[in-house]
Structure 1
Amino acid sequence: MSWPTDSELTAIKEAVSKMTGRDTGEVRVVVAPYRICPLGAHIDHQGGAVSAMTINKGILLGFIPSGDTQVQLRSAQFEGEVCFRVDEIQHPIGVANKNGASKDKSIWGTYARGALYALQTSKKNLKQGIVGCISGSDGLDSSGLSSSAAVGVAYLLALENANELTVSPTENIEYDRLIENGYLGLRNGILDQSAILLSSFGCLTYMNCKTMDHKLVRAPEFKKPFRILLAFSGLRQALTTNPGYNLRVAECQEAAKVLLTASGNSELEPTLCNVEHAVYEAHMHELKPVLARRAEHYFSENMRVTKGLEAWASGNLEEFGKLISASGLSSIENYECGAEPLIQLYKILLKAPGVYGARFSGAGFRGCCLAFVDAEEAEAAASYVKDEYEKAQPEFAKKLNGGKPVLICEAGDSARVL
């Protein structure tokens, strides 16, 4: 495995050693990789099928059990120090703010408190905190690679390890969902944390987000090795303050409600996974145009996931790539997400040498696009994308601030404590 490197591990251990005065040999390190979602975009919150894998970049959290109830955290990327106790009762952010609860000056500390909230809500008994330092792969926050989920998973694993708790990956998927849905009030699904916790090197992770069933699909040896390109847009914040994440979830639910009512199943929860494909085909004409597009994305994306697993299992990268590109197009046309710079970047990637397929990484309102590429042509593809994007979006290209506009990555492994 190419990540974390020895130098990265040494740096995070030395940071914790300076905080605590303890030897670097006593420092434990959580490795929480970022994820990509080749297929299964925007359907996890509807109980759809998704595929994912991790990459060789992510979050490192060095820590030592505190020996008392205190949590003390620093960040390699952000200023300030986060301090609280594990015996403090945590409330969802909205509730805490209404009650006039004190806020950390360091906003990055919310995920640490959220991890404590999730464990408290799940009746886990925490007797000691941690002293630690967290660090993310340079420049990859806000990139659509699930850095927030990786951070949440890292804090969960550290607190559990410090308290000698035995927790399964599927339990931690639920705990990380509690951080994001319960504590932070987000309406995202479970794709991100599932990929981070369940992936295995060399495998494509499949998950049914309705049943929580999952499996690892190992490919036979490919005819040619591949790499994963991450092409950055320079957009670190959405161009609008309300890009519509929650609105699209609501539209999917409304589409499900119409279809279930039309088929005499109105008592079922209005999520699209409860709508049989035959019901969709029989009643799709009853949907308003916007709702019809959302439903079409859901059902077609589910089909692409199934076909993608077959292509991966047979070692057919060409077919796998075509499905990824089709997913990207449906995200634009049917789910109607994606800022213009990201859409242009997606189109540029499709023309790059050696690229099998491309799509947004994340929702497409900021961050980057991903592509699967022939390993031998990865450098040429990266150079092509850099040059073409500078022509198409010179202002956003400048915002990359000297960072690499395109990263060449490899597949990663699951989150773990070293």
Structure 2
Amino acid sequence: MNFEQIFNASPKVQASAPGRVNLLGEHTDYNDGFVLPTAISQQTTVSMVPSPNDRHHFYSVELEEQVDIRLTDPTPKGFSSYVYGCLKVLAQAGYTVPPLNIFVTSSVPIGSGLSSSAALEVATLRSLRSLLDLDLDDVRIAQLGQQAEIQYAGVACGIMDQMASSLADLQHMLFLDTRSLDRQLLPFPTNAEMIVMDSGVPRTLATSGYNQRRAECEEAAQQLGVKALRDITDLQAIVHLSDPLRQRSRHVITENDRVLRARSANLSAIEFGELMNASHASLRDDYEVSVPALDSLVNLLQSTPNVFGARLTGAGFGGACVALVAAGKGDAIAHEVLARYQATGHTGQIFVPS
């Protein structure tokens, strides 16, 4: 189905935004920490035109789902909660949002930890910026998208996903200080490329342990007398915490250190890969967000020649893995590992190279 078939009209504006994969810095963004994502080639595209009546009409091509709603109605479920949230936060910011026909199509995988929700939010807000001629820069777009997800999709997310979707590109890693929003585009390690593979285990952040992990970090920060765990850099400072707060804090402290090490030195691909391996171990053991299928896929990747490092990416509880591999070897390695992974009874698929 296309826009004209659904709405009997042509779109007035269209905007896109990419998904992202995070190379280092997992579960650090809502702790005011440091992250290192990059964009992926898969994108979400949002087209729109003013509605002929007093309702908003949202349509998702991939879900074959339509929602008709007013902004005074309760928050809807599913994909429309993100679109609805974007309209609501704009209205709360003082902008006039007329009823709209909104058409969504996306190649960003859903439920794989590649920020399909952030891509939807950023694409929606970019389209609204164009349609309504709004004075919003790309950082403000990201901030509004984050608020839409927190307030209307029920996920207490950090700012990383929206900033990556709004500001990252395919050629660089985006170093981001999530407290100050200071950022820097960094080159990939030389003679290396990345692959991204899905574990076949979907995850939904609002129903996973994501919000619980965030609450645990906030409790740990409170007990330590700091605004956020980003303010703790010495592991000795957390020895008096009881588990799981000590475990959660240890992951955040060491993960922030890994991102800063990746930023501060021109690391070789081997050194960068070692940081990725250590990150996965920390996410598995201290943060407890991995699952057996993710561990199996990561282990296969890490044990494959010409793979420098691999880890889960995204919030965990399922979803995807990212690996840094020798340049020119990505496609062959991804297909080899997928065959071995599927031979163990899992499904899975390759996202990058696409």
Question: TM-score with structure 2 length normalisation?
Answer: 0.91
CA distance in 1, matches of 2:19, 2:242: 37
What corresponds to 1:133 in structure 2? 103
Helix, strand or coil at the partner of 2:36: strand
Rounded Cα–Cα distance in structure 2 between residues aligned with 1:246 and 1:15: 36
Match of 2:325 among 348, 373, 393: 373
Question: Number of residue pairs matched?
Answer: 354
Q: Pick from 31, 34, 50 the counterpart of residue 46 of structure 1.
A: 31
Structure 2 unaligned blocks of 5 or more: none
Determine the C-alpha separation between the residues in 2 that align with 1:62 and 1:355: 40
- In the other structure, the counterpart of 1:360 is 312
Supply the distance in 2 between the matched residues of 1:185 and 1:385 (Cα, whole angstroms): 35
C-alpha offsets along residues 56-110 of structure 1, whole Å, 9 cap, x if unaligned? 012122333447765322211113322235xx346xxxxx4xxxxxx75x73211
Task: Work out which of the residue numbers 251, 274, 287 in structure 1 matches 2:241.
Answer: 287
* Conservation of the 8 A alpha-carbon contact between 2:230 and 2:253: no
Do the aligned partners of residues 31 and 390 (structure 1) sit closer, same or farther apart at CA in structure 2, a change above 3 Å counting?
A: same
Say what the alpha-carbon RMSD is for the aligned residues. Answer: 2.5
Instruction: Determine the structure 2 residue equivalent to 1:250.
Output: 215
Deviation at 1:379, TM superposition (A): 2.4
**SS of residue matched to 2:164:** helix
TM-score (norm 1): 0.78
- Where does residue 142 of structure 2 map in the other structure? 173
Aligned equivalent of 2:290: 338
CA contact (8 A) 1:61 1:133 kept: yes
Q: Alpha-carbon deviation of 1:50?
A: 0.9
Q: Is the 8 A contact 2:7 2:101 kept in 1?
A: yes
Gaps of 5+ in 1: 1-13, 91-95, 97-102, 261-267, 411-418
Q: Residues 353 and 377 of structure 1 are in contact (CA less than 8 Å); yes or no, is this contact kept in structure 2? A: no
- Following superposition of structure 1 onto structure 2, how do residues 82-121 of structure 1 map, counting pairs within 5 Å? 82-85=67-70, 88-89=71-72, 96=74, 104=76, 107-121=78-92
Q: Name the SS of the counterpart of 1:109 in structure 2.
A: helix
Cα 1:171–1:241, aligned 2, differ >3 Å: closer, same or farther? closer
Deviations 1:238-266 (A, max 9, x none): 6x996421222122122222222xxxxxx
In the aligned structure 2, how far is the partner of 1:335 from the partner of 1:187? 17
Q: Which residue of 2 aligns with 1:299?
A: 253
**CA separation of 1:118/1:161 partners in 2, compared to 1, >3 Å: closer, same or farther?**
same
Superposition deviation, residue 41 in structure 1: 0.5
Q: For residue 52 of structure 1, give the secondary structure of its aligned residue in structure 2.
A: strand
* Paired residue type of 2:215: A
SS at match of 1:38: strand
CA contact (8 A) 1:111 1:152 kept: yes
The answer to whether the Cα contact below 8 Å between 1:231 and 1:385 also exists between their aligned partners in 2 is: no
Larger Rg: 1
Q: Give yes or no for contact 1:385–1:406 (8 Å, CA) kept in 2.
A: no
